[in-house]
Amino acid sequence: MTIHAIETGKVKITKSWRTGYGDGNKRLMNTLFDSEFTEWLPIYVWVIEHPEGLIVIDTGIPADANKRIWFPPFMPLIQRAAKFQMTPEEEVGPQLRQLGLSPSDVRWVVLTHLHQDHDGGLHHFPNAQFVVSSKEWEMAVGLKGRMNWYLNQRWPDWFKPHLVDFDSRIPLGPFGGHHTLTQAEDIHLVPTPGHSRGHLSVTLSEDDLSIMFAGDASYTAELLRAQSADGIGPDPEGQQETHRKILAYATSRRTERLPGPVGGAQAKQ
């Protein structure tokens, strides 16, 4: 299998967004009003050339992500705390074509969650089957979804993902359940909540190596090791529990962790 990393642009977030501190509303205020920002961070999309078809994990940021959005009412505060840098050519569709791959050949698009730097390229894949966790979908749709900071008004009308639940009868390592994507049973989806309620990660097993596409479960390997939750997720303690499970998974087998759209350095655990 061949794996490609596509950088669809960059993002700069407040330092308290990357490393959260404080409790409850105070934590959120620290994140939104912090005057210090991180360096520019890459926003990754991952592409797997699998024998059963092309698999894309997350879809990156759209070229107009900095456009002012006035609903929900607190959106300008979030936009102040996260600034994007990208061009139309950097969107995932054009970059796939540059690799000699056609977006219309993509079989599955797995979305780790539905934040806008992950669902910004849906429109490039009208033929694919999208895969989202049931919990993430429940949190992201409708007016409730917008109040949960999901920009669902930007989704294409035809966006109707296949929803997965995790089969808790067959745990995958420390993860309480999983969903198997491929017939070869080499790609699984596992629940990794915290950064968002329905966040999932993707594991790929080849020979004796496991690769984990962990989305925003942690922004960097260092934060993962420190079990340090970000400042934006709805469930910091749940995110730390997810960190412990990822670390336990990584120590039980040779694992390479690949970062999500706000990626830090790639790191072997």
Minimum Å gap between C-beta 247 and Zn ion is 20
User: How many residues does this entry show for the chain?
Assistant: 269
Which of residues 10, 115, 178, 257 is near Zn ion by CB under 5 A? 115
Distance (Å) of CA 114 to CA 1, 24, 119, 199 = 26, 22, 6, 8
Q: Among residue numbers 215 through 234, which ones bind Zn ion (CB under 5 A)?
A: 216
The nearer residue to Zn ion, 115 or 135, going by C-beta atoms, is 115
Minimum Å gap between C-beta 216 and Zn ion is 4
59 within 8 A of 115, measured Cβ to Cβ: no
The nearer residue to Zn ion, 173 or 201, going by C-beta atoms, is 201
Q: How many CB atoms lie within 10 A of CB 176?
A: 12
Alpha-carbon distance of 251 to 204, in angstroms, equals: 16
The nearer residue to Zn ion, 90 or 216, going by C-beta atoms, is 216
* Residue in the block written with tokens 């984990």: 212
* Residue in the block written with tokens 């420190």: 226
Alpha-carbon distance of 209 to 190, in angstroms, equals: 17
Interface characters, 197-216, with Zn ion (x: CB under 5 A): -------------------x
The nearer residue to Zn ion, 75 or 205, going by C-beta atoms, is 75
Query: By Cβ distance, which residue is nearest to Zn ion?
Result: 115
Minimum Å gap between C-beta 1 and Zn ion is 26
Residues that bind Zn ion (CB under 5 A): 115, 216
